[in-house]
């Protein structure tokens, strides 16, 4: 009964701390009060707590701290008509699932969310550590039908909007480390992996994958990750409402993608870069295939390449690669 649960959860979320009468829920759904009660019982088994008071109704007192597709949809609040949300408790990789759905003809835009990935993929053939039910693994799928050159800055654009969201809504000092990492206090909290299918010089399909460390405990993570990575919970010192966050991410990505496709975003890209860039002014080593360039980061070009000033005073633009900060 996904739609029934979404209607109930939406009403309880909108009421905030207040009670919602069983009668009004039953009327809105065209079911009996016992039917409402039965749905709430089912949701209790899934990690929700509801307070029930005679003659007043129900209120939501606790929500699950893991992804719950109906709760995410209830939080979407108006954005549900703008994007389809698919949820898998477990999948090999949400990027791979999004690619399969695109190949099968599913209309865009849609997002694949998963509670767990068995083969989460990172950049440069790496794996993405994807423990169960405490992080966000999301892949957004679009069919841009646009020349690949025009899509070059999409990851940067979306990543900067995600920084902006996390900064404004959660007051977290999130920075974007060019080209694909989100950092908080020098540690990686999220990675982005954009994959595209280009055909006859048009980007036909585009999948933007986001792995965001949210509420997972890191004690059992591989040692190198414990040193390099962090979670939003650690940064904000309390667990986050992951379904609310997932809905906010979805709303932000859909909105940012639409404005990107309309064009005229160049000034906004530069403004967001100034605000959320991690590398500016730092000495770095950039590796492009077998080539290595060292220099100080001085900005980005309009097409999203990283600009370095080398020791000899030359300006070099790096369009892709791996960057490490030299301390």
Give the helix/strand (H/E) hosting 267.
helix 266-276
* Closest CB 225 distance from ligand BTN, rounded Å: 12
The residues of the shown chain that bind ligand BTN, judged by CB under 6 A, are 93-95, 117, 120-123, 126, 128, 137-139, 180-181, 191-193, 209-211
Q: How would you list the strands of the sheet with 110-114, edge to edge?
A: 84-88, 110-114, 136-142, 202-212, 187-199, 181-184, 174-177
Residues 172, 177, 181: CA angle, nearest 5 degrees: 80
Please give the Cα distance from 176 to 161 (Å, whole number). Answer: 10
- In whole angstroms, how close is the CB of 120 to ligand BTN at the nearest point? 4
The CA distances from residue 231 to 59, 158, 212, in Å, are 30, 20, 8
- Least Å distance, CB 91 to ligand BTN, is 9
Which residue lies nearer to ligand BTN by CB, 4 or 215? Answer: 215
By beta-carbon proximity to ligand BTN, the closer residue of 118 and 266 is: 118
Q: Which is nearer to ligand BTN, 120 or 304 (CB)?
A: 120
From first CA to last CA, the distance across the chain in angstroms is 55
CB of 240: closest distance to ligand BTN in angstroms? Answer: 17
Comparison of 66 and 139: residue with beta carbon closer to ligand BTN: 139
CB of 65 to ligand BTN, least distance (A): 19
- Residue 48 or 178: which CB sits closer to ligand BTN? 178
Which residue lies nearest ligand BTN, judged by its C-beta?
191
d(CA 114, CA 116): 5
């Amino acid at each position: 009964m996904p739609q029934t649960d979404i209607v109930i959860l939406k009403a309880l979320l909108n009421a905030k701390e207040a009670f919602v009468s069983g009668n009004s829920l039953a009327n809105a759904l065209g079911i009996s009060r016992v039917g409402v009660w039965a749905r709430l019982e089912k949701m209790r088994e899934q990690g929700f707590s509801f307070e029930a008071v005679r003659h007043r109704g129900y209120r939501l007192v606790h929500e699950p701290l893991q992804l719950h597709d109906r709760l995410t949809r209830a939080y979407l609040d108006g954005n549900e008509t703008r994007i389809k949300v698919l949820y898998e408790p477990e999948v090999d990789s949400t990027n791979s699932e999004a690619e399969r759905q695109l190949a099968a003809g599913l209309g865009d835009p849609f997002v694949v969310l998963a509670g767990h990935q068995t083969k989460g993929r990172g950049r440069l053939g790496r794996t993405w550590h994807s423990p169960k039910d405490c992080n966000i693994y999301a892949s957004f799928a679009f069919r841009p039908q646009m020349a690949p050159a025009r899509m070059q800055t999409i990851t940067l654009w979306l990543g900067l909007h995600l920084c902006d969201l996390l900064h404004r809504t959660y007051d977290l000092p999130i920075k974007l480390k060019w080209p694909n990492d989100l950092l908080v206090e020098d540690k990686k909290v999220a990675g982005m992996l954009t994959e595209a299918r280009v055909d006859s010089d048009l980007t036909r399909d585009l999948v933007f994958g986001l792995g965001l460390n949210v509420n997972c405990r890191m004690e059992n993570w591989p040692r190198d990750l414990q040193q390099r990575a962090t979670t939003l919970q650690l940064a904000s010192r309390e667990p986050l409402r992951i379904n609310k966050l997932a809905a906010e991410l979805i709303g932000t990505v859909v909105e940012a993608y639409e404005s990107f496709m309309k064009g005229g975003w160049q000034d906004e890209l530069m403004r967001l870069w100034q605000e959320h860039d991690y590398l500016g002014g730092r000495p770095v080593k950039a590796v492009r295939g077998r080539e290595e360039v060292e220099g100080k980061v001085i900005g980005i070009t309009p097409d999203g390449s990283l600009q370095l000033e080398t020791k000899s005073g030359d300006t070099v633009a790096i369009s892709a690669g791996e960057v490490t900060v030299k301390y």
